[in-house]
Structure formats: structure tokens, C-alpha cells
Structure 1
Amino acid sequence: MKQRKVTIDLAWANVFALLFFAFVALSSSAAWYVLWGSPSFNDFGGNFLTGVNPLGAAVLVFVILVSGIVAHELIHGITWACFAKHGFRSIRFGVIWAMLTPYCHCKEPLIIRHYRLGALTPLIILGILPLLLAYPLRSVPLLLWGIIFITSAAGDILIVWKLRKEPASLLVQDHPKEAGCIIFEPDVEDDAI
């Protein structure tokens, strides 16, 4: 089998994430404005925020965001573990401290279709669904959550975009040291047998 590396540059991924954030934030806010106009105090949580200690609120927001980041990586792991031969034993978590980038790594090959699904599941569960729910529920916190967690999937979106033209049945494995994956292609002789 031939191996081919498909990776993304983390510095570029962070720049892309900032640009993507601007796009998602502006388009989501514009949609909110068309539907509801300018947000009111109640759209932000209203009476829930009355008398809240600002430092306590900041700590709570920080804890909620860190919990969301952990959930993002866990969702990757759970999804990939469903398709990995050795289940959750094939999943590893960590942080690339130089780029402040948490990661989930699957140590065994998956077919590209399953790899893509595992890459995009946190985007759907933590980003798109809360954003879509924010509008009918008229909830600015859900809107902000959706914007943040759609944006936090920028690297995942870049990898899936790079894999868009690959056959869904090929094997792919997370790259052990870089942001991306290794595609396993059958040799021409393997196809002839």
C-alpha cells in the first residue's frame, strides 16, 4: 500500500479560524437582526443575569467554554471509537501547547467516510444545532455558543475539505505528529490481483 500525507498548517488553520469566525459571526448576527432586531436584555438571559457577580460570571463562562472544548474532542473520540476495530482503546487525547490546540487522535485506520463523520460530528452537535436552536428560542447565549463552536471546528473543516475528492472507501489514519491524516492507497498490483 502507498501512503500519502494530507495535513494542514496550524498557523494557517488559526488564521482561517479568525476569518471563518468573522464570517459566521456576521452572517449569524445579520440573520438574528432580520428575525428579531437588536437583542434585548431578555435575549441575553434577562433576569438570570440580575445581581450576578461579574467575576463569578466570567469564571462560569470560562468553565463552560473549556467544557465545550473538552466535549468537542470527546465527540471526535466517541464517533471514531464507534468505527475503530479496538474501540476507545484506539483513541488518544492531548494538546499541542505551542499552538494552544487540543486534539483527539485515532491510532488505527478508518475508512474515509467514517473519518469525515468523526471530524464533523462536533461541528454539528456543538455548533450548528445550537445556532439553529438560538433563533426560535430567541437565545443570544445559544447564538454565541453556536458561533464559537462552529468556528472551533475550522481545522476539522479544512481537513474534510482536503479529503473531499478522495474515494470514501479508502483507509485513512490520523497523522501521529501533524494536524491531518495519512491516506492508504492500494498499489496498482494490489488492484490487479
Structure 2
Amino acid sequence: MQQPDNYQRFDRSTSLEKANLVGGLFGLIPAIALFVGHLLYNGEFTLTFNPNDWFGIILLIIIVIGGVLVHELLHVIGWMLAGRVSLSAMKLGFDRKTLTPYAHIRQALPINAYRFGTILPAIVLGLLPGLIGIVNNLPPYTAFGVFFTVAAGGDMLILWLLRRDPAQALVIDHSDRVGCEVLIPNESNSR
């Protein structure tokens, strides 16, 4: 691997507040596509909700909280698998100011490994359950997929920020912002 001196750094990050706002819009487009896909494929989308069903309400809360935790764990798993890094390089946390959980990797990764770990929760918790719900006419699965696709909007925003960076770049995850710094080898840098 080349020395860091042979790289130029570029910031590809945003604030947590902006990521939650703009990222939600990034997640909304594929989420709407899942919902409309369910309607077009099945002709209907029916969910029932009984506000007096305390068991159902508690179960929904558990599913949402559990899904949020699994979302962050999927980032960790994706970065470990694609980047071949150890668990000790990972950090899970919770930002009290914005009530946002996060996963952070403490070492540089090849950009495509970072991309893989970044998008993995959107695929596993969003698109796959949504598609299963559509194909099998299971509105709760589609709704779960829609919710977690919107929740992965910040991750989609990060991929958008990285869209023009070359495959040979390295990524250093920000510890206090959403996104990363990209290290691009000088010989491939045309900026």
C-alpha cells in the first residue's frame, strides 16, 4: 500500500442534522417505489392498526428498536467482511443530541468495502423485506421495508457523496460527522 503522502484528502461528510433531513429524501424515493410496487403488483395495500392492542404496539416498538440496532450492526458486519478488518476497529454509539445511533470504523478502508458496508442495511432491512412483501402480498413486510429504506437514506446520501471517487481510493470514516474523508492516490487524481 502507498504511503499517505501519496494521497490527496477530500471531505465527503455532512452534519448529522443535515444527513437526517437530506438523507430522508434519498431514502424516500426507493421507499415510495416499494409502496407503489406493492399496490401495482397486488392491487391493494392494507394494514390494520388497533390503538387498543397494547401487545401489537409494544411489538411494533420492539421491532423498530431492534431493526435500528440491526441496521448499525449490519454496517459493522459489512465493513468487517468487505474490508477484512477486526471487530476491535469498530465502534457503535448513540448521539444523544440527535437521538441517532451510529456505527464507526476507526481505520482506513478501500472505498468499495466502505460502500458495501454502508449500503448493506438498506438492502437487508429495506429492499429485501419490501420485495418479499410485494411478491407474497404481505403488507407488513412491505411496510417494514419501506420504513427501513427511509431509515437508510443517510447511507444513500453517503454513497451519493462518494459517487465520483475512484475504486483505488481509501476512506477514513468521520468519528463525529456523517460520511468520511476520501484519500485519492495522486496519480489518479484529476481534480
Report the alpha carbon displacement of residue 10 of structure 1 after superposing the two structures with TM: 2.4
Once residues 116 and 37 of structure 1 are traced to their aligned partners in structure 2, the CA distance between those partners, rounded to angstroms, is 35
1:172 is the counterpart of 2:171 = yes
CA distance in 2, matches of 1:101, 1:159: 16
Q: 1:85 to 1:120 in 2, by over 3 A?
A: closer
Aligned to 1:63: 62
The aligned length equals 182
> What's the secondary structure of 2:181's corresponding residue?
strand
Give the root-mean-square deviation of aligned CA atoms.
2.5
Question: CA offsets, 1:46-86, max 9 Å, x none?
Answer: xxx99x96112111100011111111110100111224454
> CA distance change for structure 1 residues 121 and 86 in 2, over 3 Å: closer, same or farther?
closer
Partner residue, 2:20 = 14
Q: Distance in 1 between matches of 2:94 and 2:160?
A: 23
- Map of 1:24-173 to 2, 5 A cutoff? 24-40=30-46, 44=47, 54-84=53-83, 86-173=85-172
Q: Which amino acid aligns with 2:12?
A: V
Letter in 1 for 2:13: T
Q: Which moved more, 1:13-22 or 1:63-72?
A: 13-22
Query: Cα offset for 1:114?
Result: 0.4
The SS at the match of 1:108 is coil
**Amino acid of the residue matched to residue 112 of structure 1?**
I
Look up the match of 1:184.
183
| TM, length-normalised to structure 2 | 0.84
TM-score, structure 1 as length reference:
0.83
Shift of 1:17: 4.1
Deviation at 1:184, TM superposition (A): 1.9
Distance in 1 between the 2:149 and 2:100 partners? 15
**Aligned AA for 1:134?**
G
State whether residues 4 and 182 of structure 1, in contact with CA within 8 Å, keep that contact through their aligned partners in structure 2: yes
Instruction: Please list every run of 5 or more consecutive structure 1 residues that lacks an aligned counterpart in the other structure.
Output: none
Structure 1 residues 104-146: Cα deviation after superposition (integer angstroms, max 9, x where no partner): 0000000001000010011111111111111121101100110
Paired with 1:20 and 1:186, the residues of 2 have a C-alpha distance of 29
Separation in structure 2 between the aligned mates of residue 72 and residue 60 of structure 1, nearest angstrom: 18
Structure number, greater radius of gyration: 1
Counterpart of 2:156, as a letter, is I
- The alpha carbon displacement at 1:148 in A equals 0.8
Query: Are the aligned partners of 1:174 and 1:182 in contact in 2 as well (CA < 8 Å)?
Result: yes
Amino acid at match of 1:29: F
State the one-letter code of the partner of 1:152: A
What SS does structure 2 have at the residue aligned with 1:99?
A: coil
The percent identity for this pair of structures is 30
Residue aligned with 1:167, SS: coil
AA matched with 2:40: V
